[in-house]
Structure 1
Amino acid sequence: MGWFKTKKGPPAVSAMQTAPRSGWQAGWEWNRSAPLAGGEQRLYGALRESVPIISAALEKTVRLIGAFQVECPDAAARRGLAEFLRRVPVGAAQAGIHSFLCTYLDQLLMYGTAVGEILLSADADGIAGLYNARLEHLELRRGENPLEVQLCVRGPSGEAVPVKHPNLVLLSALNPEPGEVRGVSILRGLPFLGEVLMKIYHTIGVNWDRVGNTRFAVTYKPSGDGDRAYGAERARQIADQWSRAMQSGAGVSDFVAVGDVSIRVIGADNQILDSDIPVRQLLEQIVAKLGVPPFLLGLSWSSTERMSSQQADLLTSELESYRRLLEPVIEKICRIWLLLNGYSERMEIVWEDISLQDTVDLSGARLKNAQAAKLEWEVQKEKEGRA
């Protein structure tokens, strides 16, 4: 652990004018703690399971984040680091930094906060693996100044104990509110829309169950006094004959009745509500919140190529913002590996292009700029020749 003793901690803060003072919170430690899992997080999990389009959007966002390479001044360090990032164990059944980042980013988008850990070997001379931590037993605690945050683990007794080696912990927060240590889930604001959407889908299922399994109303109207005297008996006979005629698997059977008997389908006069407009309005709100173009989710709302390209540009900007959130995590892992292996911690993360279309557009833009520069040069030479 000697590699980490020389690393400087957060700079001391001389004064806090807008943050709550620790003296005001004496005896109220709960006000400084922020559990990472609770009813809100469980609600997000249930929402993701209930609305498949939300799960599809999160999974596509994680897959589209792309790959990266780490450049180092030392060629040996670059080769060793690349091999480590490709083979580092992740959890119990995965390997590679990409697997770790996929789970990390999914947790970050889902819950607003992601926690991971760098696992050192027994003799602390190398990184043994990476671990994606569950949030149920973790909580964040504010430090003595607004620049410090402490990760705590709740034990069997329920007491929160700070982690022993916070320098090996990886922590990210998505769009935290001012003064808060936890991030905000990308699904915030969607539970209400998801509940309404599930009600519509449930109603559609109930209505189709009723329409598919048709119910009949058989009405017998006695025409005279004699019919009224035996009305109950005739109604019972009609009911028995109708039940026999409607039995499944008994073959074709005729229904014969005497008197004024009418047969109607229950609910035939009612019209099933059109669900296209409300469902589309709800899905538009959900897709707008998730930031994924509709055509990637199988929704053909925009048919023009111009609109699709603009949506792709917006997705590119979203993915670049997520990359910026992941870069400190990648840098911390790489720098610890470099220091443990005796290399300089100088390194640079180089992301691959998000898609081939970006490369094509960039090449086209460079070609047009070159053509414009050539045309300007020819015009300038022509003017000089005339002069």
Structure 2
Amino acid sequence: MTTRAELVVIGGGLMGTATAWAASRRGLSVLLLEQYGPGHARGSSHGSSRIVRRGYQETLYTELTGRSFELWRELELDSGTPLLRMLGSVDFGTRAYAESIAAQLAASAVEHEVLSAQEAEQRWPGMRFEGPVVHHAQGGTADAASAVTAFVEGAVRRGAVVRHGAAVASLDTTADGRARVVLADGDEVLAGTVVVAAGAWTGERLGGHVALPPLTVTQQDTFHFPRLDPAAPAWPSVLHERGAGIYHLAGGRNGGPDDDRKIGEHYGGLRTTASGRDGVVSSAARDRLVAYVKEWLPGLDPTPRNESSCLYTFTPNEDFLLDRVGPFVVCSPCSGHGAKFAPLIGELTADLVTGAGGTPERFRLAAHASGAS
């Protein structure tokens, strides 16, 4: 069976659903295709807790976080669903790292404070620090899984069609410049534009149609550790520039009744492919993070109560990838730090669909090809 669509979005994670929401709000007719069922855990968008924050070492990302927070609030209002927990955000590690974060926050007029390690430990008992420690209130967590639901429901209210279990077998172009999407069940869709927001599957989907930069897929493991004093005030989200880049945050719905701590490493995951990952959590990663908890987080039980994994898709310079070639739009891969920008990435992708300006040149294919950063 052959159908026609104005816009097809491939991928029902955060970026694909955000694109469907943004495009449908502009009046576009949208067909969203997701190869698995709702809420699956095979990609990068499952779970209830992702870090949101303003702190970055670069001006572009610091400024984009402000735009993204505005859109998160629009999504909450549109859906009637609370998605953000504004618990604050803390950065520390080397002095150069902390000073760089503080400088960027100051340049973007984001209110913040710089604490000594002792001051931070007094404010947040149960954590240890090395100074200086940068704290700002515009941070916390986003509920990723609920955001996907909110994006989908908002798009559907505006006429979007969502098909789960709709795996894409191939893409090609027609003689008149449209895109042809062939599904695994044999159905065919002809579309004016196809957005590929498939995360770790991006290379498989767009290979031969768009000259992508090298993309590295890794399996990243996270662990939940119970808090020894569940009644204590919630801790802020934390980035510790140490080792493989440690981050930890409130565990959300996946954190158990005491809102335990989700902890992971940004780098050092097992190289894999979207289809070839085994999903087995690394015992070495578990050992490293247990040792980290014992040294830096005495307010936690150092025995993890839960563990899981997700996929990161890194570009060589870790910048996002947003561009259009003919009828195909590549959306993200986000290099493990894109979740906080999801509603903004949806808007920027919709700009590429409609031809509106606004996509930073740094995210374009040419910038990736030249090694610009």
The bucket for the TM-score relative to the shorter chain is under 0.3
- TM-score, length of structure 1 as denominator length: 0.25
**TM-score, normalising length: structure 2:** 0.26
Q: Which has the larger radius of gyration?
A: 1
Q: Choose between structure 1 and 2 for higher RCO, CA contacts under 8 A separated by at least 6 residues.
A: 2
